[in-house]
Amino acid sequence: MPERVDIQNVLSQMRAMKLQVQNASDLVRLDHAERIKLGSITSERNFHEMMADALNTVNDLGKESGRLSDALERGVEGVTITQAMIASQKASIAFQAVTQVRNKLVTAYEKIMNMPI
């Protein structure tokens, strides 16, 4: 028999994620000096390191999503459909975000290459 989803647990997880997103968006609005004061920037990082970290995160989210989906299909105890679906959505959103960044970079590169010298 399928396990019932605890709606209160799902709602609390959604609220926690909403707070995380709000906190992250508030941090983005701060200027560089304010972010350093809050400790969000410990040192300057170059673009290459940030992109590598982003791609590794997307890869990790995809692996976790696959692992949870496989565990759900095999009927592993303790893995719920809610966990698998949330992991899948996180991986999907992260992949879409990285794809958009890549598209913007390609567009910027094309504009630069088409500039007259």
Tell me: do 75 and 29 sit in the same domain. no
Is the pLDDT score of 58 beyond 70? yes
Find out whether 64 and 92 touch, Cβ atoms under 8 Å: no
Phi-psi region of 52 (alpha: psi -120 to 50; beta: other; left: phi over 0): alpha
Tell me: do 58 and 115 sit in the same domain. yes
- List the one residue out of 87, 1, 101, 94 whose CA is nearest residue 51: 101
Query: What pLDDT does 29 receive?
Result: 54
Tokens of 56: 């590794």
The model carries a pTM of: 0.57
Write out the residue range of the structural domain in which residue 15 sits: 1-44
For 78, which DSSP code? T
Query: What pLDDT does 46 receive?
Result: 78
Tell me: do 55 and 38 sit in the same domain. no
Tally of structural domains, the chain: 2
Query: What pLDDT does 66 receive?
Result: 95
Query: What pLDDT does 1 receive?
Result: 44
Tell me: do 35 and 52 sit in the same domain. no
Tell me: do 51 and 108 sit in the same domain. yes
Number of Cβ within 10 Å of residue 67's Cβ equals 14
Query: What pLDDT does 4 receive?
Result: 58
